[in-house]
Amino acid sequence: MGKQRKWTLEEKIKIVKEFKKGATISYLNNKYGISGCGTVSRWNKEYDEGRLGIDNRGKRKHQTELEDIDILKKSYALLMEIRSQQHK
């Protein structure tokens, strides 16, 4: 498998703007040599959400998110314990 191309933010914005003006995804994939079938759609969505330049690949979840998950798990376990005691 070949090495994937790294697209700059400027290139992504240029391609997304072409897409918004009516260019088809297949046209853009052929014109720019984009290999992923959902790449332009994903860039368009990220552009609309203001996340196009953010790269979170390989990054761990924030500690607060992990703490929230632990709280939810403990709360659920407590709820299940309360429910089982009510049915006795």
Q: What is the pLDDT of residues 26-65, one digit of tens each?
A: 999 999 999 888 999 999 999 998 888 877 666 565 656 7
pTM, rounded to two decimals: 0.61
The pLDDT value recorded for residue 54 is 78
Which amino acid belongs to residue 61? Answer: K
Which one is predicted more confidently, 4 or 27? 27
Chain mean position to CA 18? 22
Q: Which residue intervals of the chain are DSSP H helices?
A: 9-20, 25-32, 39-48, 63-86
The pLDDT value recorded for residue 61 is 58
Which amino acid belongs to residue 82? Answer: I
